[in-house]
Amino acid sequence: MPASDPSEEQAIASLRPTRLAEAVGQPAIVEGLGIAITAARRRGEPLDHVLFHGPPGLGKTTFAHIIAVEMGVPITHTSGPALEKPADLVGILSNLERGEVLFIDEIHRLPHAVEEYLYSAMEDFRVDFVAGTGAGAKTILYPLEHFTLVGATTRAGLLSAPLRDRFGLIYHLDYYSEEELTVLVTRSAAILGVRMEEDAAREIARRSRGTARIANRLLRRVRDYAEVRAGSRVTREVADAALTREGVDTLGLDQMDRLYLSTILDHYDGGPVGLEALAATLNEDASILVDVVEPYLLKSGFVLRSPAGRRASEQARAHLGRTGQSHQPRLL
């Protein structure tokens, strides 16, 4: 396999905005962070701890890096599953500089024993060690530099109340509008040097499921197709052909989305069907369905979720051409 082009890797990495002024969409978050960062810099203090939650691909990691750049501090990146024992966390905390950003992705997956060490670290900027055993045991207080913890999660409901309450700034990231994604695709195309018509940018945006990460991924696939089949110029027709070839339909549903919906319609008479039964039928992990597949389908009205299970909507039937099917609701 040929080596990756360093300039291409640099171009892809540069698609992420690095300053608040460059961020597209999420206006409430941009404004709120701007005020908090400006106030913290004027006081000469580290920024308060920040929690971002929402579906994947909406910019949680990007905002963490923007915070570090705007505050003029380094950033240390880790994830909840990577911190398996308290020593892993303490080793990172003890090496943080004043004001440094510690970004923990998937923070809801922190082991409970590790999470407990975060409480005093976030609130009192110290960790407590227990040295010795029995009657001779004693607690050693290890002071930490004042740092900023930025947590990101797709499952805010799984965070414990003590951890959630220690964040001073909590933001929910929502899906982007078609107009916002059009601006984002146009910006990314300019960075990548892609010649793109406005209608093509809007077509990519319309089929990006309201997600910035998907918009940038689809843009790169359209660029590849245009280089090989269309003389490197991206028109709406070229974008449509490229995305159709990728299995992304006019509403942004991919092959997994359509399989999910057709399984409910064909195997379970439109539902309701329980999550575990649906995951077993699809041979897919239930957490993937909950975190990746379902959020956009729920928001778009293709799937209805109730205590009885998942049910495909009439909109889903129409989109998949199943309007002529007779169906009876099932209770599992």
User: Rg of the chain over CA atoms, in angstroms?
Assistant: 23
SS (H, E, C) 25-68: CCHHHHHHHHHHHHHHHHHCCCCCCEEEECCCCCCHHHHHHHHH
Catalytic residue among 154, 182, 211, 263: 154
Sign of the four-CA dihedral 326, 312, 258, 178: positive
Active site residue 61: yes
What is the Cα–Cα distance from 314 to 217, expressed in whole angstroms?
30
Active site residue 85: no
Catalytic residue among 16, 60, 202, 206: 60
Active site residue 41: no
Tell me if the bond preceding 295 is cis, omega within 30° of 0.
Answer: no
Q: Are 306 and 251 in contact (CB under 8 A)?
A: no
Q: Which one-letter DSSP state was computed for residue 289?
A: I
Structure tokens at 293: 């597949």
Catalytic residue among 213, 217, 236, 299: 213
Active site residue 148: no
Active site residue 105: yes
**CA angle (233, 206, 54) in 5-degree steps:** 125
Catalytic residue among 16, 105, 211, 254: 105
What is the Cα–Cα distance from 20 to 22, expressed in whole angstroms?
5
What is the Cα–Cα distance from 291 to 183, expressed in whole angstroms?
26
What is the Cα–Cα distance from 79 to 170, expressed in whole angstroms?
18
Burial 279-289, CB ≥16 within 10 A → b, else e:
bebbebeeeeb
Catalytic residue among 16, 61, 62, 317: 61
Q: Say which residue the tokens 């750049």 belong to.
A: 69
Question: Would you name the residues annotated as active-site residues?
Answer: 60-61, 105, 154, 213
